[in-house]
């Protein structure tokens, strides 16, 4: 298994705290390769796979507040 990166998310970019190949989407749990990471929240320090996941999480006040099926 590839190592998960640890990132610190800022408003327009992110800093790599611990190197890795990917991060995990806070909503779906799916891996996101670092070179494809485009959506995150600096406020909640979460990564999102796409615009749908990012919008849902931000409107909910973070992925932890989303209802799981």
Q: Please, which residues have CB within 8 angstroms of residue 25's CB and are 6 or more apart in sequence?
A: 31, 32, 47, 48, 49, 53
Tell me how far apart the alpha carbons of residues 20 and 7 are, in angstroms, rounded to a whole number: 9
Indicate whether 1 belongs to any domain.
Answer: no
| Residue 7: CB atoms within 10 Å | 19
Distance, C-alpha 63 to centroid of its chain: 9
Residues comprising the chain, all counted: 69
Q: What is the pTM of this model?
A: 0.90
State which residues form the domain around 10: 6-65
Mean pLDDT of the chain: 95
Indicate whether 53 belongs to any domain.
Answer: yes
What integer pLDDT is reported at residue 3 of this predicted model?
94
Indicate whether 20 belongs to any domain.
Answer: yes
Indicate whether 14 belongs to any domain.
Answer: yes
Indicate whether 61 belongs to any domain.
Answer: yes
Report how many domains make up the chain: 1
Indicate whether 28 belongs to any domain.
Answer: yes
Indicate whether 44 belongs to any domain.
Answer: yes
Indicate whether 36 belongs to any domain.
Answer: yes
What tens digit of pLDDT does each residue of 8-30 get?
999 999 999 999 999 999 999 99
């Amino acid at each position: 298994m590839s190592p998960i990166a640890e990132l610190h998310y800022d408003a327009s970019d992110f800093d790599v705290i611990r190197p890795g190949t990917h991060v995990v989407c806070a909503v779906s749990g799916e891996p996101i390769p670092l070179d494809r990471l485009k959506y995150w929240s600096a406020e909640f320090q979460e990564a999102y796979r796409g615009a749908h996941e990012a919008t849902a999480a931000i409107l909910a006040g973070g992925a932890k507040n989303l209802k799981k099926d």
